[in-house]
Amino acid sequence: MSTLTIFSSVPARAAEAEAVPVATSRPIPAVLGADLEVPVKGGRLVGYANLDYAASAPCLEPVSAAVTAALPAYSSVHRGAGYASQLTTARYEQARHTVRAFVGARPDDAVIFTRNTTDATNLLARCLPAGTTTVVFDTEHHASLLPWEKSVRLAPPAFPGEAVRAADAALAGIDGPKLLVVTAASNVTGELWPIAALAHVAHRHGARILVDAAQLVPHRRLNLTALDLDYVAFSGHKLYAPFGAGVLVGRRDWLADGEPYLKGGGAVRSVGDDTEWHDDPEPRHEAGTPNVLGAIALAAACDALTATGWTALVREEERLIARLRSGLASIEGVRELSLWGDDHPRVGIVSFTVAGYSAREVAEVLSGEYGIGVRDGKFCAHPFVRHLLGEADGGCEDGTASAVRASIGIGSTQEHVDRLVEAVRDLVNR
């Protein structure tokens, strides 16, 4: 069992949960599967170098421990009078408080458990006031690009200030309710977006802002209140909690007024000739038996990262990503994808192309010969990757061009990074 407490008592109010002091500077926790061995060409077994965290991160040990600890008393949530049911309900609600504190949400913000980020953005899309226009950059992941009924799409901005200027101009031209949607850290380049400035601009035009934090929260602290964000969405499985839960956090009013996301038990106060739906966003949008273990896992990941402290996590990640980027940059024919240049701050994600090889060929060689797991393709961000490849490689009109993405996090090692660099170098020199 983890030394991190997943449940002690359930605070009556979120504010109390936020006031609970969290010990800092614990050692960086381990991930499950750190000793996984995989077969490579010739039948040898080698230690797996997982460099695919941006797709889905391995499970943190404290997360696994929290789930294991919750299982013996596992029971129904919000329904049973039995002790186990009350305990499980309390754990589920405590998870909500933990997530609220983790993102620095306002005390009255809704915290709705979803399946993942995609589910969270779609939930918000269904709750937008009638006639809402969404402003979204072409750089977004499809989860944040596609759910909107009425949207204005903005071209990839040439520099961060241009993103703010373009959002400003677009929002100024829209009447009625408006929502700016932006990803905090790109899943393609890892680059950080100026979300505070974008929030400021959105609010100046009476708009709200949704931040897709799927790739930010595993790598950096996020404070919704300090940044003045209206909504954030992220996934447990990218945050070392691969148990099928995600979350939407943010202002209650649109969520309280929106059509219940799922219609069924739990979302209703009473059903007779008329159906009386809950006004509170959490029960209103969480009909059916929720993913309790997913929520407990997600909260345990939040606790574990907070207890470790962001300084240590960021320092180690920056050391490894700098090594990876400079290693790749030293290989002729390797080109890193970047929107805003080499020096722009980013999280532990690097996408690149290798001259003379398709991304699929590179990924297959890395896996089959070196035991390295990376992603290849357009990373569910087709317009953005097309834009980047179009610039980097003189066009990709055939629609087949794609890139290789290496991404790191807790459990990544210098050996993994060096192995990738040397494998790519070997490939180029063949």
Active centre residues (catalytic): 380
The beta strand positions in 130-177, using DSSP E, are 133-137, 151-154
Q: Give the list of residues 6+ apart from residue 253 with CB closer than 8 angstroms, or none.
A: none
Contact window for ligand PLP (CB under 6 A) among 25-33, 115-123, 325-333, 335-343: 115-123
Q: Give the list of residues 6+ apart from residue 57 with CB closer than 8 angstroms, or none.
A: 31, 218, 237, 238, 239, 240, 242, 409, 410
Answer yes or no: are the C-beta atoms of 104 and 223 closer than 8 Å.
yes
Q: Does 139 bind ligand PLP (CB under 6 A)?
A: no
Toward ligand PLP, which CB reaches closer, 14 or 57? Answer: 57
Toward ligand PLP, which CB reaches closer, 305 or 427? Answer: 305
User: Alpha helices of 271-370 — where are they, by DSSP H?
Assistant: 281-285, 292-308, 310-329, 359-370
Q: Does 122 bind ligand PLP (CB under 6 A)?
A: no
Question: What three-state secondary structure class fits 179?
Answer: strand
Q: Which of 122, 215, 351, 402 binds ligand PLP (CB under 6 A)?
A: 215
Contact window for ligand PLP (CB under 6 A) among 40-48, 116-124, 258-266, 419-427: 116-124
**Nearest CA to 389 among 347, 359, 366?**
359
Helix (H) or strand (E) holding 261: none
Question: What three-state secondary structure class fits 57?
Answer: coil
Q: How far apart are CA 57 and CA 50, in angstroms?
A: 9
Q: Does 291 bind ligand PLP (CB under 6 A)?
A: no
Q: Does 214 bind ligand PLP (CB under 6 A)?
A: yes
Spacing of C-alpha 385 from chain mean position: 19
Contact window for ligand PLP (CB under 6 A) among 110-118, 253-261, 294-302, 382-390: 110-118
- 363-382 residues near ligand PLP, rule: CB under 6 A: 380
Q: Which of 94, 134, 187, 189 binds ligand PLP (CB under 6 A)?
A: 187
DSSP state of 166: H
Toward ligand PLP, which CB reaches closer, 297 or 423? Answer: 297
Report the C-alpha dihedral over residues 368, 320, 54, 46, rounded to 10 degrees.
20
Q: Which of 93, 191, 212, 230 binds ligand PLP (CB under 6 A)?
A: 212
User: Which residue type sits at 379?
Assistant: F
Q: Which of 91, 100, 141, 405 binds ligand PLP (CB under 6 A)?
A: 141
Toward ligand PLP, which CB reaches closer, 174 or 192? Answer: 192
Q: Does 351 bind ligand PLP (CB under 6 A)?
A: no
Shortest Cβ 163–ligand PLP spacing (Å): 15
Q: Which of 2, 50, 64, 116 binds ligand PLP (CB under 6 A)?
A: 116
Q: Catalog residues that contact ligand PLP under the rule CB under 6 A.
A: 116-118, 141, 143-144, 183, 187, 212, 214-215, 235, 237, 246, 380
